[in-house]
Copies of this chain bind each other. A is one copy, B any other.
């Protein structure tokens, strides 16, 4: 299975009455299908998965499967706090035709969670899952960093094929690559360090930014693949500033606003997430305008 290249962490559009807008979700996928994105992540952190009901989450998985073009790898976010619920969600994603499950660390009972907790949790999930597992460490949201010894140990499980590391810590990429087997896939979750991550043997990335600027992220990946490091360095700097303004400072609301500006179905996030403030809107608009003229709003 070729888990490499650029995957957008898909956003969840809502209708004006607050319900999930599956038609808008599919409309975005229809446009992404025309790019060289490697596939899609449904129900990631960027998809507001923790703000969705179980039924809404399921409907998005179904819609994602329906709308994705053949050849696009489908990754479902299935991590829940409980091991049993994570297994249930993972099996459901597999049944719906997803290729890979992205499983974030449990994180609520931090003081009680030790290395052993994560080893047992992930092994239980991987043992039960019909599809391969990607570990997912996203300390900015969870407060939990999956540490290198655990990653290296879990890499030995035949059904754990890689990790999405959203810490931005390139040293972790280097050290995991040095210690895990060669087929273990490291994906970065930080657009601001995509090029250095690739240079350090990451295979690709799952990026919020790729929901707004998919072709720009793909182009950086391809510059790396063709060994054009100087051009890649420049493009990386450009994307890092864009990612900072749109994703780091704007959050999901900022990302959706940037999507609106580029003709995708962005819209507002769900409460308690607030809309982007006007000052941030202006900054995001200025950043987005530096890229090619926005596609006409669908």
Q: Is A158 an interface residue (CB 8 A)?
A: no
Complex Cα gap A112–B141 (Å): 10
Does the CB pair A141–B51 fall under 8 Å? no
Does the CB pair A82–B237 fall under 8 Å? no
Complex Cα gap A272–B106 (Å): 8
Return chain B residues, CB-CB under 8 Å to A145: none
Closest B residue, CB atoms, query A144: B143
Does the CB pair B271–A124 fall under 8 Å? yes
Does the CB pair B116–A274 fall under 8 Å? yes
Interface residues of A in 243-298 (CB under 8 A from B): 244, 248, 251-253, 270-274
Does the CB pair B171–A233 fall under 8 Å? no
Does the CB pair A195–B190 fall under 8 Å? no
Copies held by the complex: 4
Contact pattern, A 107-140, Cβ under 8 Å of B = 1, otherwise 0: 0111111101110110010000000000000001
Q: Which bucket holds chain A's interface residue count?
A: 35 or more
Return chain B residues, CB-CB under 8 Å to A197: 196
Q: Is A240 an interface residue (CB 8 A)?
A: yes
Q: Is A84 an interface residue (CB 8 A)?
A: yes
Contact pattern, A 182-216, Cβ under 8 Å of B = 1, otherwise 0: 00000000101101110111000000000000000
Q: Is A23 an interface residue (CB 8 A)?
A: no
Complex Cα gap A237–B121 (Å): 29
Q: Is A30 an interface residue (CB 8 A)?
A: no
Return chain B residues, CB-CB under 8 Å to A110: 140-141, 143
Complex Cα gap A253–B113 (Å): 11
